[in-house]
Amino acid sequence: KRSRKLDKAFDIIVGNSGKLKDALTVASKAAETDSNVIIRGESGTGKELVANAIHYSSKRHDKPFIRVNCAAIPSTLLESELFGHEKGAFTGAIMQKIGKFELADGGTIFLDEIGDIPIEIQAKLLRVLQDKEFERVGGIRTIKVDVRIIAATNKNLEEAMKNGTFREDLYYRLNVIPVFLPALRDRKEDIPVLVEHFIRKMNKKLGRNVQFITNTAIKALIKYDWPGNIRELENLIERCITLSDKEYIDFDDLPSYIKNVKDSKDDEVIYLGDNYDIEKMENYEYKIIKAALSRYKSFNKAGKALGLTHKTVAAKARKFHLVEN
Protein backbone atom coordinates (compact mmCIF):
# COMPACT_ATOMS: atom_id res chain seq x y z
CA LYS A 1 0.00 0.00 0.00
CA ARG A 2 1.32 3.44 -0.94
CA SER A 3 1.95 5.84 1.92
CA ARG A 4 -0.01 9.09 2.20
CA LYS A 5 3.32 10.94 2.36
CA LEU A 6 4.28 9.77 -1.12
CA ASP A 7 0.80 10.38 -2.56
CA LYS A 8 1.16 14.02 -1.52
CA ALA A 9 3.56 14.47 -4.44
CA PHE A 10 0.52 14.37 -6.74
CA ASP A 11 -1.59 16.76 -4.62
CA ILE A 12 0.09 19.81 -6.18
CA ILE A 13 -1.50 18.94 -9.54
CA VAL A 14 -4.80 20.83 -9.47
CA GLY A 15 -7.95 19.61 -11.20
CA ASN A 16 -10.80 17.11 -11.03
CA SER A 17 -11.65 16.46 -14.68
CA GLY A 18 -11.93 12.87 -15.84
CA LYS A 19 -9.19 13.21 -18.46
CA LEU A 20 -6.72 14.61 -15.93
CA LYS A 21 -7.59 11.94 -13.36
CA ASP A 22 -7.08 9.22 -15.98
CA ALA A 23 -3.60 10.59 -16.75
CA LEU A 24 -2.67 10.90 -13.06
CA THR A 25 -3.88 7.35 -12.35
CA VAL A 26 -1.43 6.04 -14.96
CA ALA A 27 1.34 8.33 -13.63
CA SER A 28 0.71 7.19 -10.05
CA LYS A 29 0.96 3.53 -11.07
CA ALA A 30 4.13 4.32 -13.04
CA ALA A 31 5.66 5.74 -9.85
CA GLU A 32 5.38 2.31 -8.23
CA THR A 33 7.60 0.78 -10.92
CA ASP A 34 11.04 1.52 -12.31
CA SER A 35 9.83 1.49 -15.93
CA ASN A 36 10.62 4.31 -18.33
CA VAL A 37 7.81 6.83 -18.77
CA ILE A 38 7.02 9.22 -21.59
CA ILE A 39 4.70 12.13 -20.87
CA ARG A 40 2.85 13.42 -23.93
CA GLY A 41 1.02 16.72 -24.10
CA GLU A 42 1.02 20.22 -25.56
CA SER A 43 3.36 22.88 -24.25
CA GLY A 44 2.15 24.28 -20.93
CA THR A 45 0.09 21.25 -19.83
CA GLY A 46 2.25 20.51 -16.78
CA LYS A 47 4.54 17.71 -17.99
CA GLU A 48 7.39 18.66 -15.63
CA LEU A 49 4.99 18.81 -12.68
CA VAL A 50 3.87 15.24 -13.39
CA ALA A 51 7.48 14.08 -13.85
CA ASN A 52 8.30 15.58 -10.43
CA ALA A 53 5.32 13.81 -8.88
CA ILE A 54 6.34 10.45 -10.37
CA HIS A 55 9.88 10.82 -9.02
CA TYR A 56 8.90 11.96 -5.53
CA SER A 57 6.29 9.18 -5.27
CA SER A 58 8.80 6.52 -6.32
CA LYS A 59 11.34 4.53 -4.32
CA ARG A 60 13.97 6.92 -5.74
CA HIS A 61 12.37 9.94 -4.03
CA ASP A 62 15.40 10.59 -1.80
CA LYS A 63 17.84 10.46 -4.73
CA PRO A 64 18.53 13.18 -7.38
CA PHE A 65 15.91 14.42 -9.82
CA ILE A 66 17.81 15.95 -12.74
CA ARG A 67 16.00 17.89 -15.49
CA VAL A 68 17.42 18.41 -18.97
CA ASN A 69 15.62 20.61 -21.51
CA CYS A 70 16.85 18.99 -24.72
CA ALA A 71 15.43 21.81 -26.86
CA ALA A 72 17.28 24.56 -24.96
CA ILE A 73 20.78 23.10 -25.34
CA PRO A 74 22.61 23.49 -28.69
CA SER A 75 23.06 20.10 -30.38
CA THR A 76 26.85 20.55 -30.34
CA LEU A 77 26.80 20.73 -26.53
CA LEU A 78 24.00 18.26 -25.76
CA GLU A 79 26.15 15.12 -25.77
CA SER A 80 28.58 16.69 -23.31
CA GLU A 81 25.66 17.94 -21.18
CA LEU A 82 24.12 14.46 -20.97
CA PHE A 83 27.25 12.29 -20.70
CA GLY A 84 30.03 14.67 -19.63
CA HIS A 85 33.46 15.07 -21.22
CA GLU A 86 37.12 14.56 -20.41
CA LYS A 87 39.64 17.38 -20.26
CA GLY A 88 40.87 18.19 -23.77
CA ALA A 89 38.04 16.24 -25.46
CA PHE A 90 37.40 19.23 -27.73
CA THR A 91 38.40 22.87 -28.07
CA GLY A 92 37.40 24.67 -24.90
CA ALA A 93 37.22 21.52 -22.75
CA ILE A 94 39.73 22.82 -20.21
CA MET A 95 38.55 20.54 -17.43
CA GLN A 96 36.57 17.36 -16.90
CA LYS A 97 32.77 17.74 -16.83
CA ILE A 98 30.35 15.38 -15.09
CA GLY A 99 27.24 14.80 -17.23
CA LYS A 100 23.60 14.78 -16.16
CA PHE A 101 23.37 10.98 -16.26
CA GLU A 102 26.19 10.66 -13.73
CA LEU A 103 24.60 13.32 -11.53
CA ALA A 104 21.28 11.43 -11.65
CA ASP A 105 22.82 8.09 -10.61
CA GLY A 106 20.41 6.30 -8.27
CA GLY A 107 17.66 8.79 -9.08
CA THR A 108 15.64 10.03 -12.05
CA ILE A 109 16.58 11.99 -15.15
CA PHE A 110 13.81 13.99 -16.81
CA LEU A 111 14.50 14.51 -20.52
CA ASP A 112 12.15 17.32 -21.51
CA GLU A 113 11.47 17.83 -25.25
CA ILE A 114 12.98 14.45 -26.10
CA GLY A 115 11.88 14.90 -29.72
CA ASP A 116 14.61 17.54 -30.17
CA ILE A 117 17.53 15.18 -29.49
CA PRO A 118 19.66 14.90 -32.66
CA ILE A 119 19.64 11.49 -34.33
CA GLU A 120 23.39 11.01 -33.78
CA ILE A 121 23.02 11.33 -29.97
CA GLN A 122 20.00 9.02 -29.88
CA ALA A 123 22.23 5.94 -30.34
CA LYS A 124 24.21 6.78 -27.21
CA LEU A 125 20.99 7.43 -25.30
CA LEU A 126 19.64 4.05 -26.44
CA ARG A 127 22.75 2.36 -25.03
CA VAL A 128 22.15 3.96 -21.62
CA LEU A 129 18.58 2.67 -21.67
CA GLN A 130 19.62 -0.84 -22.69
CA ASP A 131 22.92 -1.39 -20.89
CA LYS A 132 22.96 1.37 -18.22
CA GLU A 133 26.42 2.47 -19.36
CA PHE A 134 28.23 5.10 -21.45
CA GLU A 135 31.57 6.86 -21.91
CA ARG A 136 32.18 10.56 -21.46
CA VAL A 137 32.96 12.51 -24.64
CA GLY A 138 36.67 11.93 -25.31
CA GLY A 139 36.84 9.22 -22.66
CA ILE A 140 37.55 5.50 -22.77
CA ARG A 141 36.34 4.43 -19.32
CA THR A 142 32.87 2.88 -19.28
CA ILE A 143 30.65 4.45 -16.62
CA LYS A 144 27.76 2.45 -15.15
CA VAL A 145 24.65 4.26 -13.91
CA ASP A 146 21.36 3.28 -12.31
CA VAL A 147 18.93 5.91 -13.62
CA ARG A 148 15.20 5.94 -14.20
CA ILE A 149 14.25 7.90 -17.32
CA ILE A 150 11.15 10.05 -17.65
CA ALA A 151 10.86 11.71 -21.05
CA ALA A 152 8.41 14.34 -22.24
CA THR A 153 7.45 15.78 -25.60
CA ASN A 154 4.87 17.93 -27.33
CA LYS A 155 5.99 16.57 -30.71
CA ASN A 156 4.49 13.81 -32.81
CA LEU A 157 7.16 11.13 -32.34
CA GLU A 158 5.30 8.70 -34.59
CA GLU A 159 5.61 11.21 -37.43
CA ALA A 160 9.28 11.79 -36.52
CA MET A 161 9.93 8.04 -36.81
CA LYS A 162 8.41 8.01 -40.30
CA ASN A 163 10.57 10.99 -41.25
CA GLY A 164 13.70 9.28 -39.93
CA THR A 165 14.43 11.95 -37.31
CA PHE A 166 13.62 9.73 -34.31
CA ARG A 167 14.86 6.17 -33.85
CA GLU A 168 12.16 3.52 -33.67
CA ASP A 169 14.11 1.39 -31.18
CA LEU A 170 14.58 4.40 -28.89
CA TYR A 171 10.87 5.23 -29.13
CA TYR A 172 9.84 1.77 -27.96
CA ARG A 173 12.41 1.81 -25.14
CA LEU A 174 11.04 5.13 -23.86
CA ASN A 175 7.37 4.41 -24.49
CA VAL A 176 6.96 1.70 -21.84
CA ILE A 177 4.38 3.71 -19.87
CA PRO A 178 2.84 6.62 -21.83
CA VAL A 179 1.03 9.35 -19.88
CA PHE A 180 -1.21 11.63 -21.97
CA LEU A 181 -1.88 15.04 -20.40
CA PRO A 182 -5.01 16.77 -21.70
CA ALA A 183 -4.95 20.30 -23.07
CA LEU A 184 -6.71 22.91 -20.90
CA ARG A 185 -9.43 23.37 -23.56
CA ASP A 186 -10.30 19.68 -23.01
CA ARG A 187 -10.66 20.12 -19.25
CA LYS A 188 -12.32 23.52 -18.96
CA GLU A 189 -14.27 22.40 -15.90
CA ASP A 190 -10.95 22.70 -14.02
CA ILE A 191 -10.52 26.42 -14.84
CA PRO A 192 -12.32 27.78 -11.71
CA VAL A 193 -10.26 25.67 -9.30
CA LEU A 194 -7.04 26.43 -11.21
CA VAL A 195 -7.79 30.16 -11.02
CA GLU A 196 -8.33 29.94 -7.26
CA HIS A 197 -5.04 28.07 -6.93
CA PHE A 198 -3.13 30.66 -8.98
CA ILE A 199 -4.71 33.60 -7.09
CA ARG A 200 -3.41 32.10 -3.81
CA LYS A 201 -0.01 31.44 -5.37
CA MET A 202 0.32 34.94 -6.86
CA ASN A 203 -0.90 36.65 -3.67
CA LYS A 204 1.99 34.97 -1.87
CA LYS A 205 4.49 35.75 -4.64
CA LEU A 206 3.45 39.38 -5.17
CA GLY A 207 2.46 40.27 -1.59
CA ARG A 208 -1.14 41.00 -2.60
CA ASN A 209 -4.53 40.12 -1.12
CA VAL A 210 -6.83 39.43 -4.08
CA GLN A 211 -9.89 37.65 -2.67
CA PHE A 212 -11.82 36.30 -5.66
CA ILE A 213 -12.65 36.45 -9.38
CA THR A 214 -16.10 37.48 -10.61
CA ASN A 215 -18.47 35.10 -12.42
CA THR A 216 -18.36 37.18 -15.61
CA ALA A 217 -14.57 36.94 -15.66
CA ILE A 218 -14.65 33.17 -15.07
CA LYS A 219 -17.19 32.72 -17.89
CA ALA A 220 -14.88 34.61 -20.25
CA LEU A 221 -11.93 32.41 -19.24
CA ILE A 222 -14.00 29.29 -19.89
CA LYS A 223 -14.96 30.48 -23.38
CA TYR A 224 -11.31 31.04 -24.36
CA ASP A 225 -9.42 28.09 -25.91
CA TRP A 226 -6.03 28.45 -24.12
CA PRO A 227 -3.43 27.58 -26.78
CA GLY A 228 -0.72 28.06 -24.11
CA ASN A 229 -2.63 25.82 -21.67
CA ILE A 230 -2.10 26.03 -17.88
CA ARG A 231 1.10 28.05 -18.19
CA GLU A 232 -0.84 30.71 -20.14
CA LEU A 233 -3.59 30.76 -17.47
CA GLU A 234 -1.03 31.16 -14.67
CA ASN A 235 0.69 34.01 -16.51
CA LEU A 236 -2.66 35.71 -17.10
CA ILE A 237 -3.62 35.58 -13.40
CA GLU A 238 -0.22 37.01 -12.46
CA ARG A 239 -0.71 39.82 -15.00
CA CYS A 240 -4.23 40.62 -13.71
CA ILE A 241 -3.11 40.76 -10.08
CA THR A 242 -0.04 42.85 -10.94
CA LEU A 243 -1.96 45.46 -12.96
CA SER A 244 -5.12 45.72 -10.84
CA ASP A 245 -5.40 47.63 -7.58
CA LYS A 246 -8.69 45.95 -6.60
CA GLU A 247 -9.16 43.02 -4.24
CA TYR A 248 -10.79 40.95 -6.97
CA ILE A 249 -10.37 40.16 -10.67
CA ASP A 250 -13.19 41.39 -12.89
CA PHE A 251 -14.08 41.00 -16.57
CA ASP A 252 -12.57 44.44 -17.27
CA ASP A 253 -9.20 43.27 -15.93
CA LEU A 254 -8.91 40.64 -18.66
CA PRO A 255 -7.00 41.31 -21.91
CA SER A 256 -9.07 42.16 -24.98
CA TYR A 257 -8.31 38.91 -26.82
CA ILE A 258 -10.14 37.03 -24.04
CA LYS A 259 -12.94 39.57 -23.56
CA ASN A 260 -13.73 39.48 -27.29
CA VAL A 261 -14.25 35.71 -27.57
CA LYS A 262 -17.81 35.10 -28.77
CA ASP A 263 -20.23 32.60 -27.28
CA SER A 264 -20.39 29.40 -29.27
CA LYS A 265 -24.01 30.24 -30.14
CA ASP A 266 -22.75 33.40 -31.87
CA ASP A 267 -20.24 31.46 -33.95
CA GLU A 268 -20.82 31.10 -37.65
CA VAL A 269 -23.11 28.18 -38.38
CA ILE A 270 -25.05 27.30 -41.44
CA TYR A 271 -28.57 28.49 -40.66
CA LEU A 272 -31.38 27.29 -42.92
CA GLY A 273 -33.97 29.86 -41.85
CA ASP A 274 -37.72 29.39 -41.50
CA ASN A 275 -38.66 29.35 -45.20
CA TYR A 276 -36.04 27.47 -47.10
CA ASP A 277 -35.48 25.05 -49.90
CA ILE A 278 -33.59 21.92 -49.00
CA GLU A 279 -30.34 21.66 -50.90
CA LYS A 280 -28.42 18.52 -51.68
CA MET A 281 -26.36 17.20 -48.75
CA GLU A 282 -23.23 17.69 -50.87
CA ASN A 283 -23.86 21.45 -50.94
CA TYR A 284 -24.05 21.59 -47.15
CA GLU A 285 -20.91 19.46 -46.92
CA TYR A 286 -19.11 21.91 -49.18
CA LYS A 287 -20.16 24.87 -47.02
CA ILE A 288 -19.22 23.15 -43.76
CA ILE A 289 -15.78 22.01 -44.99
CA LYS A 290 -15.09 25.45 -46.47
CA ALA A 291 -16.13 27.22 -43.23
CA ALA A 292 -14.05 24.87 -41.06
CA LEU A 293 -10.91 25.24 -43.21
CA SER A 294 -11.36 29.01 -43.33
CA ARG A 295 -11.46 29.16 -39.55
CA TYR A 296 -8.94 26.52 -38.49
CA LYS A 297 -6.45 26.71 -41.40
CA SER A 298 -5.46 23.02 -41.15
CA PHE A 299 -7.00 19.63 -41.92
CA ASN A 300 -6.15 18.37 -38.44
CA LYS A 301 -7.82 21.22 -36.50
CA ALA A 302 -10.81 21.36 -38.87
CA GLY A 303 -11.22 17.60 -38.46
CA LYS A 304 -11.22 17.87 -34.65
CA ALA A 305 -13.87 20.60 -34.79
CA LEU A 306 -16.07 18.56 -37.14
CA GLY A 307 -15.49 15.19 -35.51
CA LEU A 308 -13.76 13.84 -38.62
CA THR A 309 -10.27 12.52 -39.31
CA HIS A 310 -7.84 14.88 -41.01
CA LYS A 311 -7.72 12.42 -43.95
CA THR A 312 -11.50 12.73 -44.43
CA VAL A 313 -11.33 16.53 -44.34
CA ALA A 314 -8.42 16.52 -46.81
CA ALA A 315 -10.27 14.19 -49.19
CA LYS A 316 -13.42 16.31 -49.11
CA ALA A 317 -11.41 19.54 -49.55
CA ARG A 318 -9.84 18.08 -52.70
CA LYS A 319 -13.21 16.83 -53.91
CA PHE A 320 -14.69 20.32 -53.61
CA HIS A 321 -11.53 21.94 -55.09
CA LEU A 322 -10.95 23.92 -51.87
CA VAL A 323 -7.28 22.96 -52.08
CA GLU A 324 -5.02 22.03 -54.94
CA ASN A 325 -5.01 18.31 -55.77
DSSP string, 128-192: HHHHSEEE-BT--SEEE---EEEEEESS-HHHHHHHTSS-HHHHHHHTTEEEEPPPGGG-GGGHH
pLDDT of 61 above 60 = yes
pLDDT of 168 above 50 = yes
Q: Could you tell me the domains of the chain? A: 4-182 (3.40.50.300), 185-264 (1.10.8.60), 269-319 (1.10.10)
pLDDT of 1 above 50 = no
For residue 49, give the nearest of 212, 222, 194, 208 by alpha carbon: 194
Query: If pLDDT is split at 50, 70 and 90, which confidence band does 85 have?
Result: confident
What value does the mean pLDDT take over residues 100-125? Answer: 94
Structure-model confidence comparison of residues 22 and 75, the more confident one: 22
- Give the Cα separation of 305 and 201 in Å (integer): 34
Query: What confidence score (pLDDT) does residue 7 get?
Result: 59
- Give the Cα separation of 238 and 227 in Å (integer): 17
For residue 83, give the nearest of 48, 109, 112 by alpha carbon: 109
Whole-number average pLDDT of the chain: 88
Query: What confidence score (pLDDT) does residue 224 get?
Result: 94
Query: What confidence score (pLDDT) does residue 183 get?
Result: 95
Query: What confidence score (pLDDT) does residue 280 get?
Result: 78
pLDDT of 3 above 70 = no
What value does the mean pLDDT take over residues 128-155? Answer: 91
pLDDT of 130 above 60 = yes
What value does the mean pLDDT take over residues 20-43? Answer: 94
Query: What confidence score (pLDDT) does residue 301 get?
Result: 85
- Give the Cα separation of 220 and 238 in Å (integer): 17
Which pLDDT tens digit goes with each residue over 269-324?
555 554 556 777 888 888 888 888 888 888 888 888 888 888 888 888 888 888 87
pLDDT of 103 above 60 = yes
Angle (CA) 144 148 151, round 5°: 120
What value does the mean pLDDT take over residues 181-202? Answer: 95
Alpha helix (H) ranges present in 66-109? 75-83, 100-103
Secondary structure element (H or E) that encloses residue 215, with its range? helix 215-223
- Give the Cα separation of 26 and 29 in Å (integer): 5
Which pLDDT tens digit goes with each residue over 45-54?
999 999 999 9
What value does the mean pLDDT take over residues 95-113? Answer: 92
